A = this chain, B = another copy of it.
Amino acid sequence: MPPPIEFWFDYSSNYSYLSVMRIDDAAARSGVTVQWKPFLLGPIFRSFGMAGPSALVRPPMAEYIWKDIARQAAKYLLPLARPSTFPRSAVLPLRVALLGAEQPWISEFSKRIMLLNFARDMAIDDSAVVSQVLHDLGLPAAEIIEQATTAANKLALREQTEAARLRGIFGAPTFFVGEEMFWGNDRLDDALEFAAFTALRHEAS
């Protein structure tokens, strides 16, 4: 069996959108299990003295990035509408994601939140929006949001963010296969290939 892939993401991250939408299918094709690792990019950027995503420092780069994402989205047959706010706050859905990281609904919940942000231009850090998504998945929305917003779960998301920083994560999406780090949606396939080869090496030895 190949080792699992850790998927570190933030729902506010535009390249994380592409990975959220395709990681389940891509990992399944490689026989790899996905471990969902929500974290907050903001504190990571601030730890380097950055006010936000690095592309924002270079206005032509910020423009180009959306063109690039549109091309990538077209390649993956994904809808895309440039959000009117970027980066958009995503704390509540990330708290829910941390609570549900090992639940069967984490992938579908993540896809729906990401589609709202990057295809429907909706405020995703809103309890009515998050509640509706959970409800549509047949889940007890009020109960999940209550658990997601306890002091313990808020602290757990801060701790997961600190764990990301200590692990050397500097952006999102980031993937780990064992101790091997891969950064960016462009490297998801390389990470899965690495996991598959790891399994082959173990079989051969």
Contacts and interface: CB of A to CB of B under 8 A. Distances in A.
Interface of A: 48-50, 54, 57-58, 60-61, 63-64, 67-68, 71, 168-171, 181, 183, 186-187, 190
Given A68-B183, A183-B68, A61 B171 contact: yes
Contacts of A190: 71
A53 to B, nearest CB: 11
Given A186-B186, A190-B71, A170 B49 contact: no
User: 9 closest Cβ contacts across the A-B interface?
Assistant: A60-B168, A61-B170, A58-B170, A48-B58, A60-B170, A54-B54, A186-B186, A48-B57, A64-B183
Number of copies: 2
B57 A50 contact: yes
A46 to B, nearest CB: 12
A198 to B, nearest CB: 15
A41 B195 CA distance: 36
Nearest to A187: B68
Nearest to A183: B64
